[in-house]
Amino acid sequence: DTAVSQTPKYLVTQMGNDKSIKCEQNLGHDTMYWYKQDSKKFLKIMFSYNNKELIINETVPNRFSPKSPDKAHLNLHINSLELGDSAVYFCASSRKVVFQRRLDNEQFFGPGTRLTVL
């Protein structure tokens, strides 16, 4: 009963290739996100989706194209991979409507996908 799952866990590929990372959440959340964590562990938000709609694109290159076929899935497709794309990519989800005192206000993270571009 994994809450947020990502596949694959590891991805090694050559520069210039196109690859996809899949994300699914079974929490019934409306909002999903993609983060990139670089080698210095800095977490950078890439995209925010709300009910299948792109809400925020945080100045990510056009080579990155998220797709949300339904509100439980948010996949990330990357074209023409570059060396600088090597990182850990995290998918996350959260509630849209927030109740101050409820204990499930946080973002739930997937296990991450370690992408290595050679």
Partner 1 sequence: AQKITQTQPGMFVQEKEAVTLDCTYDTSDQSYGLFWYKQPSSGEMIFLIYQGSYDEQNATEGRYSLNFQKARKSANLVISASQLGDSAMYFCAMREGVRRYNFNKFYFGSGTKLNVKP
Q: Which of 50, 52, 64, 77 binds partner 1 (CB under 8 A)?
A: 50
Q: Tell me whether the omega of the peptide bond preceding residue 8 falls within 30 degrees of 0, making it cis.
A: yes
Q: Which of 34, 71, 94, 115 binds partner 1 (CB under 8 A)?
A: 94
Segment lying near partner 1 (by CB under 8 A), choices 16-24, 61-69, 70-78, 90-98: 90-98
> Within its chain, how far is the Cα of 61 from the centroid?
15
Q: Read off the DSSP letter of residue 72.
A: T
Report the nearest approach of partner 1 to the CB of residue 41 (Å).
Answer: 5
Segment lying near partner 1 (by CB under 8 A), choices 18-26, 41-49, 60-68, 76-84: 41-49
Phi, psi of 31 (to 5 degrees): -115, 135
Q: Which of 12, 43, 61, 82 binds partner 1 (CB under 8 A)?
A: 43
Contacts of 39 (CB under 8 A, 6+ apart): 86, 87
68 token code pair: 């949300």
Segment lying near partner 1 (by CB under 8 A), choices 17-25, 59-67, 70-78, 87-95: 87-95
